[in-house]
């Protein structure tokens, strides 16, 4: 059994957190490959080391003094080293970093040092081999991630290493130039390592006990999702739910490796399992609820629209020509509605309307703004009668007007459109009927 374990920044913010992580890793022999983030926040208005590095490098780039800021970063690491009572020093590494900053090595290089240094401490603390991600995570000359070469380099290297620490978030081009993934990218590294070593499980340790059924900023103390499929996760993440970096899913999904989201501060909890498919029946009919505000509905009407071949294509062409992607497209016989992101659409609205008018000569085009979309997602809905009935009666009881309904034939989700003002109440009403009332 091989497990790859990735720890987020708050799990490694100080020596106390490192100790918890050490206990978790030592508590299970199969936790052989470790992917650390940079030290995160120790308290709510603390600054993540990654952000300190970006700031410090900005000063270097502007030709200003940055020694004080670099020393503050050094202090964060020294505090961890001291707290763990390690006989270890990063003085030489900081000398190199200083030189590289003066030589303007780039902000990606700067940011990557957060993970690099934390990885060195972690390897020392665990007695594991340190594998610099710059040698095994490969980007091409344009800075795009090179999946094939990475898989080759990583699997070769780790095959020869029984236990290793591979810092997250960065890699390098063949010439050694460091490149980072987008923010939160250590999740991606963990996933790549899991695929390379053919892991049985990718454990992603963070500071929450898993995916929640709804956003805790909207619903009070929402339940944790025990098992979720990749498809459900994709639907919920797309609609705004976030725990994992989006690109972290693909490598492990391709290889059929499940992900387990766990809480470093509550290791006794099972967390959330993310799997390709499962016969585990969800506890509630729905798996999760997510949503986003800020949409516009573009309603187009034209008599006999239904018999005009190519009408839909021409309308969508007007959006495409203006570089606007659409979210949903519910339609009637002589009407068609396109949902788009308000911030993307606003500045181009007159141009799009003119293009639709020119291409289709409709009877009317009306715009309705400040709408929200809510996705109610769950594999359990497929075999359950009355899900839609319960959903809409709950919304009616909460005096919420539903502007749009869209259910794909996969029956995996129901998307509803409501006014922005009704967004929070609608999510609470849906949560209450399916989770609190357990229907």
Q: What is the total count of residues that contact ligand ASP (CB under 6 A)?
A: 13
- Of 50 and 387, nearer to ligand ASP (C-beta) is 50
8 A C-beta contact, residue 339 and residue 295: yes
Task: Pick the stretch among 181-189, 209-217, 367-375, 425-433 that binds ligand ASP (CB under 6 A).
Answer: 181-189
Shortest distance in whole angstroms from residue 20 CB to ligand ASP: 17
Task: Pick the stretch among 22-30, 75-83, 122-130, 179-187 that binds ligand ASP (CB under 6 A).
Answer: 179-187
- Indicate the SS3 state at residue 350: helix
Give Cβ neighbours of residue 360 (< 8 Å, ≥ 6 apart).
Answer: 300, 302, 308, 311, 314, 315
- Of 101 and 169, nearer to ligand ASP (C-beta) is 169
Closest CA to 354 of 377, 382, 379, 322: 322
Q: If binding is defined by CB under 6 A, does position 167 make contact with ligand ASP?
A: no
- Of 185 and 380, nearer to ligand ASP (C-beta) is 185
Task: Pick the stretch among 184-192, 200-208, 225-233, 358-366 that binds ligand ASP (CB under 6 A).
Answer: 184-192
The residue from 186, 260, 263, 285 that contacts ligand ASP (CB under 6 A) is: 186
The residue from 10, 11, 14, 37 that contacts ligand ASP (CB under 6 A) is: 37
Q: What are 424's two structure tokens?
A: 């929070």
Residues 207-236 that bind ligand ASP (CB under 6 A): none
Give Cβ neighbours of residue 321 (< 8 Å, ≥ 6 apart).
Answer: 355
- Of 53 and 274, nearer to ligand ASP (C-beta) is 53
Task: Pick the stretch among 74-82, 156-164, 183-191, 201-209 that binds ligand ASP (CB under 6 A).
Answer: 183-191
Q: What are 196's two structure tokens?
A: 């390379």
- Of 250 and 392, nearer to ligand ASP (C-beta) is 250
CA distance 293 to 2: 41
The residue from 57, 109, 169, 326 that contacts ligand ASP (CB under 6 A) is: 169
Closest CA to 7 of 263, 199, 211, 217: 263
- Of 55 and 328, nearer to ligand ASP (C-beta) is 55
Neighbours of 296 (CB within 10 A): 19
DSSP states of 18-45: HHHHHHHHHT-TTEEEEEE-----SSTT
The residue from 38, 165, 199, 298 that contacts ligand ASP (CB under 6 A) is: 38
- Indicate the SS3 state at residue 231: helix
Shortest distance in whole angstroms from residue 201 CB to ligand ASP: 19
Instruction: State whether the Cα torsion 268-242-134-192 is positive or negative.
Output: positive
Give Cβ neighbours of residue 96 (< 8 Å, ≥ 6 apart).
Answer: none
Q: What are 321's two structure tokens?
A: 């020509």
- Of 184 and 282, nearer to ligand ASP (C-beta) is 184
The residue from 167, 184, 362, 417 that contacts ligand ASP (CB under 6 A) is: 184
Q: If binding is defined by CB under 6 A, does position 242 make contact with ligand ASP?
A: no
**For the chain, first and last CA: distance in Å?**
38
Q: Please work out, in degrees rounded to the nearest 5, the angle formed at the alpha carbon of residue 172 by the alpha carbons of 169 and 177.
A: 120
Site string for ligand ASP, 5-24 (x = CB under 6 A): ----x---------------
Q: If binding is defined by CB under 6 A, does position 114 make contact with ligand ASP?
A: yes
Shortest distance in whole angstroms from residue 168 CB to ligand ASP: 5
Closest CA to 120 of 90, 91, 96: 90
Q: Report the b/e string of 130-166 with b at 16+ CB within 10 A.
A: bbbbbebbbbeeeeebbeebbbebbeebbeebebbbb
Shortest distance in whole angstroms from residue 116 CB to ligand ASP: 11
Q: Which residue is nearest to ligand ASP (CB)?
A: 186
Site string for ligand ASP, 316-355 (x = CB under 6 A): ----------------------------------------
The residue from 26, 82, 99, 183 that contacts ligand ASP (CB under 6 A) is: 183
- Of 210 and 282, nearer to ligand ASP (C-beta) is 210
CA distance 423 to 214: 13
Give Cβ neighbours of residue 130 (< 8 Å, ≥ 6 apart).
Answer: 119, 120, 123, 124, 164, 165
The residue from 119, 167, 171, 185 that contacts ligand ASP (CB under 6 A) is: 185
Shortest distance in whole angstroms from residue 128 CB to ligand ASP: 19
Q: If binding is defined by CB under 6 A, does position 48 make contact with ligand ASP?
A: yes
Q: Where does this chain bind ligand ASP (CB under 6 A)?
A: 9, 37-38, 48, 50, 114, 168-169, 183-187
């Amino acid at each position: 059994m091989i497990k790859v374990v990735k720890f987020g920044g708050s799990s490694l913010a100080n020596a106390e957190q490192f100790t918890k992580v050490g206990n978790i890793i030592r508590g299970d022999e199969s936790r052989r490959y470790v992917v650390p983030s940079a030290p995160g926040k120790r308290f709510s208005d603390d600054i993540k080391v990654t952000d300190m590095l970006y700031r410090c490098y900005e000063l270097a780039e502007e030709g200003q003094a940055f020694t004080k800021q670099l020393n503050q970063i050094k202090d964060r690491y020294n505090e961890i080293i001291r707290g763990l009572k390690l006989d270890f020093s990063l003085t030489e590494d900081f000398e190199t970093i200083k030189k590289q900053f003066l030589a303007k090595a780039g902000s990606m290089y700067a940011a990557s040092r957060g993970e690099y240094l934390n990885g060195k401490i972690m390897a020392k603390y665990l007695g594991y081999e340190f594998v610099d991600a710059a040698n095994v995570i490969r980007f091409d000359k344009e800075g795009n991630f090179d999946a094939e070469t990475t898989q080759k380099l990583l699997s070769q290297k780790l095959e020869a290493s029984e236990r290793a620490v591979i810092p997250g978030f960065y890699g390098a081009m063949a010439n050694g130039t460091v490149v980072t993934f987008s923010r939160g990218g250590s999740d991606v590294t963990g996933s790549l390592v899991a695929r390379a070593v053919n892991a049985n499980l990718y454990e992603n340790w963070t500071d929450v006990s898993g995916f929640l059924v709804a956003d805790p900023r909207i619903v009070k103390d929402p339940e944790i999702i025990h098992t979720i499929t990749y498809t459900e996760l994709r639907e919920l993440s797309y609609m705004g739910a976030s725990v994992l970096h989006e690109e972290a899913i693909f490598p492990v999904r391709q290889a059929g490796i499940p992900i387990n989201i766990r809480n470093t501060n509550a290791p006794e909890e099972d967390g959330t399992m993310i799997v390709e498919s499962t016969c585990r029946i969800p506890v509630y009919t729905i798996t999760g609820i997510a949503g986003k505000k800020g949409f516009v509905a573009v309603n187009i009407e034209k008599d006999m629209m239904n018999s005009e071949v190519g009408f839909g294509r021409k309308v969508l062409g007007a959006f495409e020509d203006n570089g606007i992607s659409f979210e949903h497209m519910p339609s009637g016989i002589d009407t068609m509605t396109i949902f788009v992101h308000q911030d993307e659409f606003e500045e181009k609205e007159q141009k799009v309307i003119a293009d639709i008018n020119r291409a289709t000569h409709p009877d009317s085009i009306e715009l309705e703004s400040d709408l929200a979309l809510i996705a109610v997602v769950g594999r359990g809905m497929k075999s359950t009668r009355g899900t839609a009935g319960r959903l809409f009666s709950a919304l009616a009881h909460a005096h919420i007007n539903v502007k749009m309904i869209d259910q794909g034939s996969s029956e995996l989700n129901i998307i509803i459109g409501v006014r922005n003002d009704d967004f929070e109440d609608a999510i609470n009403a849906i949560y209450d009927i399916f989770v609190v009332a357990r229907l």
